[in-house]
Structures are given as structure tokens and as C-alpha cells.
Structure 1
Amino acid sequence: MSITIVSSFIFAKKRKLVQIFPDSLRIAWNLWEIRATVLLSLILQAVLISLGNRRKHSTSNWLRFVLWLAYLSADWLATLSLSVLSSSSTQEDGNSKELDHIIKAFWAPFLLLHLGGPDTITASSLEDNELWWRHFLVLLAQVGVAIYIFCSSLGGHVLNFLAIPMFVAGIIKFGERTWVLRSASSDNFRESMFPPPDPGPNYARYMNEFRSKQVQGYKVELGSVIETPKVGYHSNTSQEGIFDGAANLQEAHVFFSIFKALFADLILSIHDIENSKSFFKSRSYGEAFEVIEIELGFMYDVFYTKAVLVHSKMGTIFRFVSFVCIIIVFVIFFVIEKQAYSEENIIITYILLAGAITLEIQAVVSLLCSDWTRLWLSKNKKAAKLLHPVILSISSAETKKKWSNSMKQYNLIRFCLEDEPVQCSFLHNVPMYIKGKIYKKFKKHLYMDLEKVCPELKEMIFQQLLEKSERAKTLEDYKRLCAHKGDWVLKNKNRINEFGWSIGEEIDKSILIWHIATDLCYYSDDMEDQNSVKHQNCINSKLLSEYMLYLLVMCPFMLPNGIGQIRFQDTCAEAMVFFKETKFKGAKEASKEAREELLDVSTDILPAKIKGDRSKSVLFDACRLAKDLQRLETEEEWDNQKKWKLISHVWVEMLSYAANQCPRSQHAQQLRHGGELLTHVWFLMAHLGITEQFQISKGQARAKWIVQ
């Protein structure tokens, strides 16, 4: 609604504003105003269709900003252009101006085409889906404006008739977008997964039969038959390798149709969980994560693109009709007489037609390279032999990516040492007082790093989750596994009495304590043996430690409610005071020495007894934990790898707990930002049964009369 209001305001004030400019500029503005806005609208559509699908696998903030700006500007510009066209329709006089208006009115359905948006991005965020009704009202309003423009230009000209098929294409496109937004809204998405209404057995008929048998003198008892679904995975999909990954693609789609209910906060059946678990426990970690990645790719398409509609039979018909309409208009416009129209307007019309065809071709290419098409080909061998080589030739590495496969990192001690990141190098020539303000405002954002999610980390996560799942003896055990945030590992290692204090009720406190302790242990091992090569458990621990802190600092909405932000700032404040007193602030070469100085502080008395509860800092609690972890090697003769295995497993359990506690809507939101490891872990946990979203049922009971 704000777009319409702003457009109306600009139109109302436009003629007053241009009075301040010279006549030559006003004439040029009136001449090129509609031409410029229509062309710019086409450019924005090209940007959206080219970049729209990249946000599935990109974490770039610049890409996010460009798409957000283009998404908002595209609708606004198309609406503004229609407003300007409707205004000019009442002001044209003279034959040349009438012809000029006719060809400009022919551009109106192109603007409806632009308002329909590309297939690769229908919603910028989940909130856009909730406002589908507003898009529907805008559709009605803009179609009305376009029809008004069309009617005002009627005069028996060929372009009047050519506008009709363009109107058909434009209305189809806009209608598709509204339908997709409505389907992805929370209420409709949830309702789409409801089973058909089931009235159950005919109670009245059963009771009439019961009474009839009694009247006849029979002794009638009520028995029951339990129909228990078979447990164990039985695939109905083709396992033949039509092309690489075909089997996993089919399996992913089967599970997607079941587990998408998690995004609607619906409950799964225990039999779905058991079948899924049976499948995943027989697969390698690589195959397991690949299936999860494909499923979440399907979820992204459901929430943010037209994929579901485009790959349906009705969508295929709509796409064929709109494409044929555009081609017909282009051919006819090419052959008709156009000398009566200005050369500039003819060129712009050609650009709009060529642009519409190009965007349609690009949409077809995106359609062919999608997992939905590959899924269809995996079930149609004859079509696969013909089309799959074509798809391979036009697809690129970009189209094969399912998500960013990366995790952002954040290190508290580096942040507190104010080790200036590379991103700040552009500030070197900026005046100090300006630099200070910029640095202070954006400091928290400048200390993020990006690391790939390595296969070894995926393997460790999968193996630990699988082990926990297999240890569950009862159905309630599955749900209890969701509540563990490090204590399960410590109990299994008989270390709960020693380290249990660090795993409290608040996950943010545990994250901060274990993050700092992991960091201190990591650099302490370096100082003891500078030539040692870090083994995988050590690397995995550091990666998860800094990833979890990133979530705490930059994405607190993905973690359970708490005072994590307050704890972080208090801990940073205490660390900065300590480093300032020990003269380590800003010293890049002294980062290891600064950590060594922290470990030298005596923690024999609990910090809380000295400081009280005023500050929420956990700096020296973490130092105490780090020393206790180091003693496992020095006093209890643990080897270094065993110590890091314990630390890494604690981190996996905290990651699992956070994944399960994260709101489902936030998991869905992160799909448009390149995806999060947290979301993939949450979905994998559900497939292994580690979830609270299932119901326990023994089977479906069916009544049976026993007549004696």
C-alpha cells in the first residue's frame, strides 16, 4: 500500500516540482520520463532473475542488499510507470501525440509482466508471503489501471489488438506470483499438509448391527484389530543410476513431502521417524548431508520462488501460453508498418519485447537446471536420455550449489584485543575522529570470518547424532535427547561432576564459557608445542566454538531466550580491562601471550564469590574450565586427542540443542541467506528421531464384532 501512496504523491507533486527547472530540462523530462521508468523496470527484472537464485547459496551482504533494493524498487517503479501512463492518456491532443500515446499505452501490459516478477524470487522474506492479500489487491488495481490506459488508446490501430495477448501474459505472470505468495503463507502452507477429512467408521451402522444381533439372541462382544504400519525403510523409488545423484534426489523428495511439516509446526508420526532413521543409519555422512541439502533446497523453492507452480501441470500450461503470446506479439510487431511512430518509441518497444523473451528463456534455463526437473527426469528414463545432456551443457557450478556450505566465525578474545581486521584497511586514510565513530558503530560486524564446513566436521556431527539416536531405547528417549546440551557427553565420559557446573540451564552462558576455554586450550597447546599439527577434533572444536559465538552475538534470535547479549558485553568489558592493564590491547603479535596471561590468573576461588552477581561476565569462569581441561593431560594422563574429542563432542551437543530450540520460522528465514549449519543439523536430527515433533501411536484400531 505504501508503494501506491508514494507513487500517487510523486505524481501529484511532479508538475509543481519541475517548475524550478529550466524549460529545456522540463521538456526533456516530459519526453523521457515514461521511457526511462519502463526501461529501468526491465533492468530491475533482469537483475532479479539473474541474482535471485544465488541467495540460496551465497552469504554475501552486498548481494542481499542489491536484491532487497531491486525487489522493492521493481514494484514501485512499475506502479509509478502505470500512474504516469494513466496521467498522460488524458493530456494528449493532436494526431502525432495520439499515435505517441497509442504506442506508450502498448507498454502497459509489459509493466504487468514486470509486476509478476521472475520465477527465481517471488518473496524477499517470509513476511511477503503473509501479505499475499495485499498483492492481490494491487493486482486488481494495476490491472484496472492498465485496462483504463488500453481503453483510452482504442482507435482501431494494430497495436490495440497486439496489447491483448500481452495482457494475457501479464495477468498470468502477476496471477502466478499472487498464487505462490498465498500458497507459501503460514496458514495456507499448514493447511496444504492436512490429510483429507476422515469421519472414521460409521458408528450408527455399527450400533444398529450390534442391536440387531442382540435382538436375534446372539451374544455379541466388541473386539479390535490393530493395523500397525510396517517399520523399516522401504523405498518405492527407482534406485538405478540414471545420472549421478538420481537416487538421493528421489529419496530427498520422498522425505521432503513428509518432513516439510516441521516448518509448519505440525507433528510427524513415529512411523515416519522410524522409516527415516532406518534409511539414514544405512548411509554415509556424505549421502546423509546431501539428502538434507536437497530437501532444504526444495523448502527454499517453496517459500521464495515459483518453483512449485512452474513445475506443476497447470504451471507448465500457463508458462507455455505466456511465452507463445510474447512470441506472437514480437513477430507481428516486427512485420507491421511502424513509420507513423517515433523512432525512439519503436526502439524501446523492441527492447521491451526482446527483454520479455530473454527473461522467459532465462526462466526456462533456470527451470531445466533445477532439482525439480532432475527429479522428473530421474523418473522418466526416456526423457532423461534426451534432456540430461542438454542440462549438463547449460548448467554451471552455481546452479549445482545447494547452500553456502559455510559457517561464520567469531572470536571473543580477538575482538577484545582489538586486533584490527583486514576489512578496516580502507579506514587508514580517514580522519581519526570519523574513523573512530565508524569503527565503533560497525566494530561488532568487522570481526566475522567465514569458514567452509569441512567433510570431517560433517562426519563428526553425523556420527555423534547417529550414536545418540541408536542408544534411544524407548520413544520418550528420543524426546529427552533434545534436552541435552553437553551433559549427555560428560555423563558418558564420567566427567559430569568435574565439568557439570559449566553446563547450566542457560545455553548462552555455556557457549561463552566453553568458547573462551576452547580458545585458551587451542593456543595453550600451540605454546607448549609450536611444531605440533592440529588434529581434526581440535580443528572441529575451534570451528564450532566460533560458530556458536557468532550465533550468540550476531543471530541471538536463533538461540533460546536469555541474556546472552548482556553476558557477552560484560565479558568483553572485563577482558578489555584485563588486557589494558597487562598492556596487550591492540598487540597483534601478543595474542598468544595475552591468552597465556589469562591462564596465569588464579581461579582457586569461584569468580562469583568475589564479584557477586552484578556483572554477568564469565571470563574467569572460562579460565577455570580451561585449566581443568588442561589438567586432563597433565594430571590424569589423557592424550591430547582424547581431550579434544571430549571438547568437540560437547560442542556438537550444544549445537544440537540450539538447533532444536531455534524457532522454525528462523530456520526458514536463514534459507534465503545462504543457509545455516544450524538448520541442516536440526533437519538431520529430526530425520534421526531426535525431535519433539512426533506423536506416539500403536497403530490404527478397527472395530470388529465377535458373534457367539
Structure 2
Amino acid sequence: MHAIEGLIKLINMWEIQPLVLLSFTLQIFLFFTGSLRQHSASMFLRLSIWAAYLGADFVAVYTLGLVSRHEDITIEGHIPGKTQSLAFFWAPFLLIHLGGQDTITAFAMEDNNLWLRHLLNLVVQAVLAIYVFWKSIGRHRVELLVSGVFLFVVGVIKYGERIWSLKCGCFKSLESGSGHRYKKLPDLECEEDTGQESNSKVSTDGGYDSIVYIALSSMPHVHDIFSGRGYFSIADFPARSMLDDNKEAIKMVSIILSVMFSDFYTKALVVRRRSAIILRCISQMSAVVAFAVFHENDKQRYRKIDIAITYSLFVGCFLLELCAMFISMMSPWTWAWLKVRKWDRLARLSWFIFSSNIGWPEEKQCFQKSMGQYIFSSWVTGSGQARTFNQRVMTMVKWLADLVRVERKNIFWISKLLDTEYVDVDEMTMDCVAKEISQLRHVGGPIKSGRDWPNLLGERADFGAAIVLFHVLTDKHLSRYPPSHPPDMEEFGMMEVCRKLSNYMMYLLATHPSLLPLNVSAEAMLDHLQDPQILHEDLLQDLEPSKEAVEELVQVWARLLIYAAGKSRGEMHTALLSSGGEFITFVWLLMALYDLGDFQWKRIRLTNAAFIDHRVEELFAFPVPAAIPPEEASSSKAHG
């Protein structure tokens, strides 16, 4: 019995130390990995960040609760006053941890919408920290309590920054706000064009820095696009000059998406504001004062391990602040701010960091470089080679399901998880889609073909059914190209683009159906279409394998993607940015900059063909009486 009591006492004595170190470790992990998810589709990385994000708050709150009921326990011969614990001093450090890191404030849009809950949590945890200090009055030296008060100021400011960032990142704030959250930058003027600098314009060399600067200058208009105000926004904005060059447009949209990710899911938007900079300076000075007072304080009465942990927390806090300052120097906004004020040396330093491999180099796409792939035809027919470990696991699952006579439909959800793979969004794919957007903007004409594409795609009652049918037909058509006689490199590249777009649209239908303009449940429709007999027809059998045929299919898939993107809403894409954004987000924003889409000036419909599905009856909420022909009207007047 005495042994159990001693063990419980020992656990109570040393329970807080490992939890405090765990909380600090989670903060370090989140700082260095928080922004990686916008560049990677790794499920393991996202799961790790998600677990650390949830665990960091839980550990900090739980540990602060332990500290509030912790009593100083003597350990050396149980002599009162011989040694004391520094656990009370860690309460403000836990508040700092709850304030989070600059690289991640929210894991998903739902976290931003819960900013009021975090505000309430700040009040509760701050009161708890004050209670801890009140309980420690008289037990510890005044200097130590003063140091803790300065740390408490740091914790409140850091947590306040996080709540401020969450509020600014929620979609309601985006809708109610205006583009004034992005200060308008002066017009751009290239030195190579003018040969001299202007007082009212910022000079660059007309290269990558021009693209970055114009992207930042266009952010007020981009804000209107994401908030659904694009229809009412001024059509002329700086990015117009870049849209005629597909490569420059792709780079510009990539930068814009990365900026939007930072503003929604990190502290980037808040720390750019003057008031936040002042508060951060107060926070940093308070941390320095707290460390100086603690260092000069007599600490002989405290345990050495507690002193070592406290110094580690101080040093870690300072190092993370230095890294945060480095990240702020890497921000394109910092470079533009320095450039506008003609602080050339600092601007060059900021640009060097920004354009290096650790920043946003020109050759690296800032948004996620992968697109999901799901091959529905392989699931239905059971054909296809397992290329990844997950797909090999799925093959085993299907074999076991057949063995125990489980219907395939019941394990389809497992297939959507395991059979999905990710491939790079190559330059040719992006260029093909950008060309189709540009063609629709300038011409809007049909695809050059003798085939009746409008009726082929439009005769289905639902857009999703058309995707499934055309996905299966495309897979059949591409399988007709003999592997023994490989096509030339350009044709092979177009085949890969066709396959990627087909599989990507199928991936969206299977995993993100809310992004597509569907009339019926995607789940029910995919269940219905899993019967191979339903997909037996081959409407592309008369399309002979050729380079022209592949280019034609690529055009069709690109326009299907464009049509779906034009129907989507900004709210969907802000949520997708939490994981780096989907390729359809890139297409949607590029279209919006062209004023294309349902919420812009130029709206895209699937087809103007007059086809009728006799299974579907169309009714009108406000029917308009048919107009009377002029000859009948005159005749009726004559008789009247």
C-alpha cells in the first residue's frame, strides 16, 4: 500500500515536466511543418500535422490545469522549503504555446469559424494562469513573479494574435470585408522600358519580380473574387497585362493561391498590420525582460531539472521568434513593402530569401503540384495493374470480398481511399487547360471535329453520369494504341494529359462531388453505374487512334473541367486551400481573372444543343405565355 502511495506521489511530482516538454516539442513540429501541406499531397504528412495541431492545444490546456492544482512538493528528505518546483512559472509559457506558431493558425476552414470559442478559451486559460500566480504569492521571490508577469503579457499577445488571425480567416469575415485588407501597391514600371525610375512607380527588371509584384497588386480584386464580389468588381486590374501569356499567367495564379493560403491558415495577414507589429515588438521586449529578470534571480532553492527546462523554454521561444522574423523577411509582401520605400539593400536581401530554394523560387509552383487520379473503369472491370502499395492492398481486399461473397458496392468506399493516387501537374497539362480558357474567352467556338460532342455529352441526365461514361470511353480508346509501336513524344505527352484529366475528373466525382454541378447524388449514381453492362457501349469506337484524336479528347476534357470550375463557388476553394488546393481551384481562379464563370461577366454552359431526355420533365416556376404571331394578332383585330 505504501509502495502504491509512493508511486502516485512520484507520478504527481514528475507529471508536469514531460508534458511541458511535449507541448514545446509539438510547437516546434508545427512551426516547421505547418506550411508544408500546401506543397505536398502526402496523407501521412497531413495526418501528422492534424494530430499535432489537435494534440498541441489539448496538451497545453491539460498541463495548465495540472499546474493550477499543483502543490510544491519537497524531494530532499521531505524537509519543507529545501527544494521547490518551478511549475507555476510555466503557466505563461503554456499560454504562449496556445498562441500557436506563425506558420499555422488553422488546420481547416472550420477552425477559423470557431474563433469565438478560442476567444472564450483565452479568457478561461488567462484566468487560470492568474490564479496560479495568485496562489504562488508569498511562496516565491518577487523577482520571479515579475518575470512571470512579463511572460504572461507575451502569452496573452500571442494567443490574441492567433484569435485575430482565425477571425480574419473565416469566410464570413472574407464576405463582409473588402479588398482594403490588401493595400494597393503603386503601378509597376520596368527599368528596361523606361531607363529611369519614377517617383510614383516601382521599378523592376521585368522578370519574375514583375510577376510577383503584379500578383500582389491584384490582391484587392482577388479578394473580391474569393468573396463572391467579382461580379461587382472593377474589371480592369494589374493582372490583365499578364493573362495573354499562359506561362506568366500560370506563375501569377500560383503565387496568388500561395498568398491566399497564408492569409487564411497562418498569421501572415495579421502580422503585416501596423498594430500587430507594435504588439509583437512589445511581446518580444517583454520576453527579453522576463528572461533577464529570471536569469538574475536566485534559483538555488529550485530543482536543477526545473531550471534547465525553464531555460530550454526561454531559448526555444527566442529561436522560434528569430525563425518567424526570417519567414516574415521571406514574404513577398515584405519585399514589396521595402521596394516601395526604396530600401534597396533590404529589398534585395528579402528578394534573395524569397526567390531561393527555401522560399518561392520561379521554377517551383507555389501551390500543390499534384492532382488526384481515380480510375473507375478499372474498379468496374477489375482490370488494370496495381502501381502503388495501397492499390496492391486494395487488390487483396477485393479478393477477400469475393471470397466471402461481399458485394463490390459495399467496399467501394475503401477503393476511393486506396485506389486514389496522385500525379504531378505537368506543364503540358496546365498549358492545355490555359489555352482552352483563353480560346473560350476570345472565341468561344466549338471544338474542331466532325463528331457530335454536344449530343454525346449532353444526352445524359446528369453531368456526373456524362463524366463516368466519357471516362470509361476514354480509357477504352487510349487502350487501343499499340504499345509495340509507341507514338512520338508529343503524342505520348498528349495521351498522358488526356489520361490525367480523365482520371482527375473521375477523382473529383468520387471524392469531391460538391465541386461539380451535379443534379443527383454522386454516391447513388456511382453505385448504379458499377454494373459493367451499363457501360458496355463504346461511342468512340469510330474514332481512329491518331494524334488529332488524342488532342480532340484533351480539348473535351479540358472544357469539361472548365465548365465544372465555372460552376463552383469561392467558399469551396477557400476550404480546399487548407490542403494546398485542388487543380480545379487553379482553373477556377484563372477563369475568374478572365471574367469567366457563373459569378463573373461571362458564364459558361455545357452546350446549346437541343437534346431531350424523355425521362426528365421540365416545369417552370414562372412560365411566360407564348407570343402571338403578328399575322394572327392582326387577324384577330380585324375580326374584332
Answer whether TM exceeds 0.5 for this pair: yes
In 2, the alpha carbon distance for the partners of 1:436 and 1:668 equals 44
- Deviation per residue, 1:378-409 (Å, 9 max, x gap): 42442x42353466369753532511222121
Quick check: 1:89–1:152 contact (8 Å CA) kept in 2? no
Quick check: 2:353–2:359 contact (8 Å CA) kept in 1? no
| Pair 1:286–1:23, CA change in 2 (3 A) | same
- Equivalent of residue 371 in structure 1, options 319, 328, 332: 332
Quick check: 1:269–1:695 contact (8 Å CA) kept in 2? no
| Pair 1:369–1:358, CA change in 2 (3 A) | same
Letter of the 1:506 counterpart: D
Structure 2: gaps (5+ residues)? 191-202, 603-640
SS at match of 1:172: helix
Partner of 2:121: 138
| Pair 1:445–1:77, CA change in 2 (3 A) | same
- Deviation per residue, 1:509-560 (Å, 9 max, x gap): 1211221121111120226844655344333211111111111112222212
Matches within 5 A, 1:119-268: 119-155=102-138, 156-193=141-178, 236-239=187-190, 240-241=203-204, 245-268=208-231
**Alpha-carbon distance, 1:645 to partner:** 2.0
Letter of the 1:237 counterpart: L
| Pair 1:455–1:353, CA change in 2 (3 A) | same
In 2, the alpha carbon distance for the partners of 1:497 and 1:649 equals 11
- Equivalent of residue 689 in structure 1, options 595, 611, 619: 595
**Alpha-carbon distance, 1:274 to partner:** 4.7
SS at match of 2:442: helix
Quick check: 1:273–1:686 contact (8 Å CA) kept in 2? no
- Equivalent of residue 461 in structure 1, options 420, 433, 458: 433
In 2, the alpha carbon distance for the partners of 1:515 and 1:21 equals 69
- Equivalent of residue 506 in structure 2, options 522, 525, 549: 549
Partner of 1:112: 95
| Pair 1:435–1:76, CA change in 2 (3 A) | farther
Matched, 1:291 2:252: yes
- Equivalent of residue 377 in structure 2, options 413, 418, 426: 413
- Deviation per residue, 1:436-462 (Å, 9 max, x gap): 899957333222222211112222211
- Deviation per residue, 1:290-322 (Å, 9 max, x gap): 111111112112211110111221222222221
- Equivalent of residue 315 in structure 1, options 271, 276, 282: 276
**Alpha-carbon distance, 1:497 to partner:** 7.0
**Alpha-carbon distance, 1:117 to partner:** 0.5
In 1, the alpha carbon distance for the partners of 2:457 and 2:262 equals 44
SS at match of 2:446: helix
SS at match of 1:691: coil
- Deviation per residue, 1:334-366 (Å, 9 max, x gap): 333211111111111111111111211121122
Matched, 1:650 2:556: yes
- Equivalent of residue 414 in structure 2, options 438, 442, 449: 442
Quick check: 1:252–1:295 contact (8 Å CA) kept in 2? yes
In 2, the alpha carbon distance for the partners of 1:175 and 1:536 equals 51
**Alpha-carbon distance, 1:31 to partner:** 1.3
| Pair 1:501–1:112, CA change in 2 (3 A) | closer
- Equivalent of residue 310 in structure 2, options 336, 341, 349: 349
In 2, the alpha carbon distance for the partners of 1:314 and 1:88 equals 37
In 1, the alpha carbon distance for the partners of 2:2 and 2:492 equals 71
| Pair 1:172–1:500, CA change in 2 (3 A) | same
Structure 1: gaps (5+ residues)? 1-18, 197-233, 473-487, 576-616, 634-639, 697-708
Quick check: 2:377–2:471 contact (8 Å CA) kept in 1? no
Matched, 1:665 2:571: yes
Identity of aligned residues (%): 27
CA RMSD of aligned residues (A): 3.4
Partner of 1:221: none
Letter of the 2:235 counterpart: I
| Pair 1:666–1:83, CA change in 2 (3 A) | same
Partner of 1:26: 8
| Pair 1:181–1:20, CA change in 2 (3 A) | farther
**Alpha-carbon distance, 1:62 to partner:** 1.0
In 1, the alpha carbon distance for the partners of 2:439 and 2:9 equals 75
In 1, the alpha carbon distance for the partners of 2:290 and 2:461 equals 67
TM-score by length of 2: 0.81
SS at match of 1:685: helix
Partner of 2:605: none
In 1, the alpha carbon distance for the partners of 2:387 and 2:330 equals 39
Quick check: 1:117–1:174 contact (8 Å CA) kept in 2? yes
| Pair 1:368–1:48, CA change in 2 (3 A) | same
- Equivalent of residue 540 in structure 2, options 608, 616, 626: 626
In 2, the alpha carbon distance for the partners of 1:276 and 1:683 equals 15
- Deviation per residue, 1:586-619 (Å, 9 max, x gap): xxxxxxxxxxxxxxxxxxxxxxxxxxxxxxx4x1
- Deviation per residue, 1:494-513 (Å, 9 max, x gap): 53378535564522112112
Partner of 2:39: 57
558-567 or 77-86, which moves further after superposition?
A: 558-567
- Deviation per residue, 1:666-698 (Å, 9 max, x gap): 2112112122110010000011111232479xx
Partner of 1:67: 49
Letter of the 1:567 counterpart: M
**Alpha-carbon distance, 1:79 to partner:** 0.9
- Equivalent of residue 495 in structure 1, options 448, 451, 465: 451
Quick check: 1:457–1:540 contact (8 Å CA) kept in 2? yes
Q: Matched residue pairs, number? A: 569
In 1, the alpha carbon distance for the partners of 2:342 and 2:446 equals 48
- Deviation per residue, 1:6-40 (Å, 9 max, x gap): xxxxxxxxxxxxx9993343233111111111111
Quick check: 2:35–2:104 contact (8 Å CA) kept in 1? yes
SS at match of 1:451: strand
Partner of 2:476: 520
Quick check: 1:273–1:688 contact (8 Å CA) kept in 2? no
SS at match of 2:69: helix
In 2, the alpha carbon distance for the partners of 1:407 and 1:540 equals 12
Partner of 1:279: 241
Letter of the 1:661 counterpart: K
In 2, the alpha carbon distance for the partners of 1:56 and 1:186 equals 19
Structure with the larger RCO, 1 or 2 (CA within 8 Å, 6+ apart): 1
In 1, the alpha carbon distance for the partners of 2:440 and 2:345 equals 43
Matches within 5 A, 1:560-579: 560-561=517-518, 562-574=520-532
